[in-house]
Amino acid sequence: MSAASGSAASIGAMRHRLILERPSRVGDGGGGAFESWIAVAEVWAAIHPLVGSELVVGEAVEGRSTHAIDLRYRTGIIPSMRFRFGARVFEIVGVIDAGERRRRLRCHCREVRL
């Protein structure tokens, strides 16, 4: 099904194996901390590009892509998490129970460069 229609992808369209990660703060030994990421699960999903744009930040051009990622329903996915697909990283900005039947989730994500 189309990403624009708001319907979740069919099981056959979920061909991307993503790693769901959550943030973890790790002490640096000097009273500070840094953020690292811990794998929570591997999930099959469909990635749908929605928008592509370039922003000028300072004097540098920063590319930004917005995607919808559809997967089977699972509890515990929240906007502070992210998906990793190879070298690509997708920060979750919103989570929707597609169809409100606890069968599929649609995560609105922002692709970031590391």
Q: Quick: pLDDT tens for 41-93.
A: 999 999 999 876 554 555 555 555 589 999 999 999 999 999 999 999 999 99
- DSSP lists the bridge partners of residue 84 as 19, 89
Q: How many domains does the chain have?
A: 1
Domain that holds residue 25: 11-112
Q: Does residue 107 lie within any of the structural domains?
A: yes
What is the rounded radius of gyration, in angstroms, for the C-alpha atoms of the chain? 16
- What tens digit of pLDDT does each residue of 30-55 get? 888 888 999 999 999 999 998 765 54
Give the domain CATH number at 83. Answer: 2.40.10.270
Residue 81 resides in a domain:
yes
